[in-house]
Chain A
Amino acid sequence: NAGVMQNPRHLVRRRGQEARLRCSPMKGHSHVYWYRQLPEEGLKFMVYLQKENIIDESGMPKERFSAEFPKEGPSILRIQQVVRGDSAAYFCASSPATGKGGEAFFGQGTRLTVV
């Protein structure tokens, strides 16, 4: 039973390019969450998605960032026109359902470096 799969593990982009980060949730999970971890910081919530729906995007920067979770295929976090400040580790988590005290399972992360 594969866990949450993220790819690529490492991504290097030049300033101004686009970054696409992929996340395949655990089998049977329909809820996906994206987090960003800046150096020496904790994880910050970005967005919560269900299939074909954005449920909560309160943590997403207003510009250049977007996320989707299509009916088929992985969830995608897209960052357009990347800047140095976007360099961070991006983690995806998935869970089977809502409810108090349940567990979210995290992927290994994508480490984005903007040069």
Chain B
Amino acid sequence: GDSVTQMEGPVTLSEEAFLTINCTYTATGYPSLFWYVQYPGEGLQLLLKATKADDKGSNKGFEATYRKETTSFHLEKGSVQVSDSAVYFCALNYGGSQGNLIFGKGTKLSVKP
């Protein structure tokens, strides 16, 4: 079945460091891909998305490119801030229902000043 695999955390970085969180997926069709962020004690917020191959999603300095050839959607940010500390979830869905998402296990990011 369809699945999403993320790099295991936790990831600890110093402020202004470069961030990469790997995400690969297994899917029989052509899903849409998402990154969600969960701040402590909060629900999930959509960070960025891409709906087709070679699309790049971007928001708040974060980027991810939909790579069909490597079935990947890695999240990157050039310079992280303490406020980026959160859990990041990679997810996919098919068009049938927007909220029926398959999530990875999440990667916890801690950014130290």
Partners in one complex: yes
Chain A residues close to B by CB (< 8 Å): 4, 6, 31-33, 40-45, 48, 55-56, 91, 93-95, 97-109
SS class of chain B's interface: helix, strand, loop or mixed?
loop
The answer to whether A42 touches B105 (Cβ under 8 A) is yes
Of chain A, the residue at the smallest CB distance from B105 is A42
Within 8 A of A (CB), among B11-61: 32, 36, 41-46, 49, 51
Query: Is residue B70 within 8 Å, beta carbon to beta carbon, of the partner chain?
Result: no
User: Do A98 and B95 touch (CB < 8 A)?
Assistant: yes
Q: Point out the residues of chain B lying under 8 angstroms from A106, CB to CB.
A: 36, 43-45
B89 at the interface (CB under 8 A from A): yes
Q: Chain B residues in contact with chain A, CB under 8 A?
A: 4, 32, 36, 41-46, 49, 51, 89, 94-106
User: Which 8 residue pairs across A and B have the least CB separation, nearest first?
Assistant: A100-B95, A104-B99, A33-B99, A101-B51, A102-B98, A42-B103, A106-B43, A95-B98
Contacts A42-B106, A101-B49 given: A48-B32 contact, CB under 8 Å?
A: no
* In the complex, chain B residues whose CB is within 8 Å of the CB of A109: 42-43
CA distance A75 to B7 in the complex (A): 34
- A-chain residues with CB within 8 Å of residue B43 when the two chains form the complex: 4, 6, 91, 106-109
B99–A31 touching, CB < 8 Å: yes
Contact B42 A108 (CB under 8 A): yes
